Chains A and B, each alone.
Chain A
Amino acid sequence: MHNSKNMYPYYLVLPALLIYFIFFAFPALIGFYYSFTDWRLDRYTIQFIGWANFERIFSDKILLLAIQNTLIFAVVTVIGKNVLGLLLALGLNMKLKTRNLLRAIYFSPSILSILVISIVFTPILRTEGMLNGLFEWLGFESLTQAWLTNPSIVIWTISAVAIWSGAGFQMTIYLAGLQGISKEYYEAAKIDGASSWRSFWNITLPLLLPALNINLMLTLIGGLKVFSEVYVLTGGGPGNASQVVGTIILRAFGEGNWGLGTAVNTLLFVCVAIIAVPLIIFMRRKEVAE
């Protein structure tokens, strides 16, 4: 008698669908088309030029460097944020006196704008800045570096700042995962004489798998989309040493190379999809299996 067809009308989906379609999905879809055109600021007619934009991306040294930097940034931050986040969560899941305070401190960078964090780190990371000053004071002169102006390390420096600001977010998700694990498992393992290393390996890690999956996905996708950290800390410099895909798109936009910029965006889309879709399918299957 009450079938769900008439009771839950689809027109209530429409406002969200329209906004999402017009301002997000449709531009992404036409992006595929524009990637194959010579769309430029100074052209009135747009012509289809096949794979020319993509050929240019893969022959242009700066564009290739930007792709390489994006991959380095993504991999380094995925590892850094997750290893640190997990270690912090394990530590702060213990009965420590200061644990609530420490959790709040470690999480605090996550609520700040990347712009704020990047500007604060500028005087710290300058060649004559606080960090090098600290190393000199401690007597480790050999560790001092031109953190933001040495082309071969600048992308690593930016990754480190991103890890600093993001590890607390991952920690919070791992903590929620840890709190969901029943203590009984550990008690049973103890009775069976398992060492704490073994119970970490056989109880904690497997039950933390959902949190691990979601964290891997969030950090990986976020890492590939990196923009603000690079934009504020170095603007892609010195020279073009720290360009990433996000800053290249802004540059192409500014130069009026819209077709090329859109092609770079499309490439990013495809890369993210190739990585994320199998991960999601894997996670869903896992959920069904449980």
Chain B
Amino acid sequence: MSLRAKSLIFRIIVEILLILLSLLIIVPLLLMLLGSFMNSVEVMQFRIQLPEKWLFSNYLTVFEKGGLGRAFLNGIVITAISCIVNIVTSSAAAFILARRESKLSSFLYLFFFMGLIAPMSTITTIRVVQWMGFYGSITSVVFIYAALNTAFSIFLYTGFVKSLPRALDEAAFIEGANIFQVYFRIVTPLLLPVNATVAIMVFMGVWNDITIPLYFLPDSSNWTMPLSVYNFYGMYSREWNLIFADLVLTSLPVIILYVFAQRFIVSGMTAGAMKG
């Protein structure tokens, strides 16, 4: 047998194995998706099969019973504002840190970098937020998410700014531009792909998180989708069709984001990772 034929057969075997293995990923997700359209008896069989009748009404039911409208809005507000705060502050800071070459700037970079490693100190953070008098508010959670994502964002932005030629801003300075003009007119347009990446990464992290609301939002009317879903799961633990519909609804925004912005997610993750 020729070498070519051998490698072709090897490739086919690998492909078949990988397709079979991918069932392991597909089956649980399909269980959720198909189950979300079944009636409450049918779903309890936990089988991969098409629903006898497609009950789209399950989605309406969970939306009403689970108070998801509120949770959805909370999620959008918290996620969007922490994204914006994070992007504006981190990109500005990274721009300076990347351009300055002093001991202070490398110390600050290292200080931010520690945030990639250090676990958050939850209980003392609650203390600090209480001292400031806004424990339990959506505002406090926005700042906490912005802070938690600062390290990663600065890391991404600094790497990118360093790849932009300095001559670009120097030329502008010579023509009399000030730092804000340089930052907004020259650097920001070039940072757009990184902004997209950071926005998506922060969005997915914040949208999917349950830890911060668990500690920082004692009032359930401020909760985001996942924690509301968890609560719903505790209350309606026998109606799996509704639970599955709830899970699908929670995942929908990130799935849509993934479908349309896949390029930025993968490039951002890997760029950040490879520069490390």
Contacts and interface: CB of A to CB of B under 8 A. Distances in A.
Interface stretch (B50-58, B59-67, B92-100, B189-197): B92-100
A202 interface: no
User: Which label, helix, strand, loop or mixed, suits the secondary structure of the B interface?
Assistant: helix
A231 interface: yes
A235 B14 CA distance: 39
Contacts of B151: 20
Given A108-B29, A115-B210, A27 B117 contact: no
A283 B274 CA distance: 11
Interface in B10-31: 11, 14-15, 17-19, 22, 24-26, 28-29, 31
Contacts of B11: 94-96
Contact of A25 (B115, B209, B226): B115
Nearest to A90: B14
A143 interface: no
Contacts of B124: 27-28, 30-31, 34, 262, 265
Interface residues of B, number: 92
A24 B208 contact: no
A113 B115 contact: no
A88 B18 contact: yes
A269 B118 contact: yes
A25 B92 CA distance: 19
B99 A210 contact: no
Residue of B121, B204, B208, B229 with most partner-chain A CB within 10 A = B121
Contacts of B85: 19
A148 to B, nearest CB: 14
A70 to B, nearest CB: 11
Contact of A225 (B93, B119, B273): B119
Nearest to A129: B46
B274 A177 contact: yes
B274 A265 contact: no
Contacts of B96: 8-10, 12-13
Interface in B179-204: 179, 183, 204
Interface string A171-190: 01101110010000000000
B148 interface: yes
Interface of A: 2, 4, 7-10, 12-13, 15-17, 19-20, 22-28, 30-31, 34, 88, 91-92, 94-98, 102, 104-109, 111-117, 119-121, 123-124, 129-130, 133, 164, 168-169, 172-173, 175-177, 180, 210-211, 213-215, 217-218, 221, 224-225, 227-228, 231-232, 249-250, 252-253, 258, 261-262, 265-266, 268-269, 272-273, 276-277, 280, 283
